Structure 1
């Protein structure tokens, strides 16, 4: 038999797919949320940048 690859394991494929979709969703959120805020609320430049400047859900966990 050939070498065992992780792609033959169903649980690995599920984990890989879920991780890829989560990262895609996060990337879309980084772009879509400010874009929606700008188009729907008509805020100033400071109001658009304020959520990115403060602590929030996008910060890595501290140990």
Structure 2
């Protein structure tokens, strides 16, 4: 029973991270960062997408590490 509950919590957390990642890359959010500015020489949109990607990967790593 305990394993089933842990698996369910893990699945819910991973689904929440996936939903967060999806919400952060939908067009209304992307449009806010789609301008000609640069961050450290990188276009703002590319920097934003990389940051979102890194956050999602980091959250999945933290969740995966805690599940063991």
Please report the TM-score for the alignment, with normalisation by the length of structure 1.
0.49
Structure in which a larger fraction of residues adopt strand:
2
- Flag the structure with larger Rg: 1
Structure in which a larger fraction of residues adopt helix:
2
Please report the TM-score for the alignment, with normalisation by the length of structure 2.
0.46
The structure showing larger relative contact order (alpha-carbon pairs under 8 Å, at least 6 residues apart) is: 2
